Amino acid sequence: MKASPRNKHNSEQAQNISSPQRIGSFKNLLTTSLRLAHSLLSHLDSKTRLGLSIMLGMIAFLVMPDSMHFDNRILISWISGILCFLSLVVLMICNATPQKTRYRAQRQEAQHLAVFMLVVMTACTSIFAIGLMQAVSNTKNIPASTQAIEVSLSLIAVIGSWFLTHTMFALHYATCYYRQDFMNKEFGYAGGLDFPGDDLPDYWDFMYFSFTLGMTAQTSDVSIPSLSMRRLALGHGMISFFFYMVILASSVNIASGLL
């Protein structure tokens, strides 16, 4: 039995109406999923961020083909882990008001000392290992294309380790600053850094302090009245100096290998 022209017209009209509705529903579902993922990822604590980053680095190492040079596989896995960790940190601090910064520093980041020590030591060790890797590769008969890729990956890994170290110090400064101190009845937290202005510092302020100290070896317009903070800043400055020494040595080694 043939369908009447009116029924065909109604079915075509229904399809034309349902298609935009389906597209709209898909967009709403996608937007909701992205917001939920952003909310979950931006509220992770330091241990969870580290665990996810290690997992991603291991996955990146395993999915690389066996034909790829072993050193390059290690560098790619290290870079993947660093990018994952830094991305999760940026998601956390982007919408962090001073009040949220204080809450997260006192609760979510309060037990991150072990993570801080582990990440900083690993980053410093990676810088030394990358320099040693370059020195060893210069003595081997490696194809020029493979060596060029390794040099590029080494440069990215060094930059990533540098960002990772100063980011971890920024998070640690925030945790030490907002550490609960019941002896301080006026504020209720330890403090230790004197930022200009009257507003409470957020994560971006601690990033500013950490990267300024790491790049220039001085504290700019932020003073450090606390003894414990000065000791932490001293260690930060020494690690930054170590970074620049290894980076300079690696640069000289790479340049000599290319000649």
- Distance CA(68)–CA(120), nearest Å, equals 28
**Model pLDDT for residues 71-123, shown as the tens digit of each residue:** 888 889 999 999 999 999 999 888 888 888 888 888 766 566 777 777 877 77
In the DSSP assignment, the letter for residue 101 is H
List, in sequence order, every beta strand (DSSP E) within 117-220: none
180 contacts 188 by C-beta, under 8 angstroms = yes
pLDDT of 53 reads: 92
- Of 42-46, 107-111, 143-147, the poorest mean pLDDT is in 107-111
Instruction: Work out the pLDDT band at 173, boundaries 50, 70, 90.
Output: very high
- Distance CA(205)–CA(146), nearest Å, equals 41
Q: Does the pLDDT at position 208 exceed 90?
A: yes
More confident residue, 14 or 247: 247
204 closest CA partner among 89, 117, 119: 89
As to burial, measured by CB atoms within 10 angstroms (0-12 exposed, 13-18 middle, 19+ buried), residue 142 is middle
Instruction: Work out the pLDDT band at 212, boundaries 50, 70, 90.
Output: very high
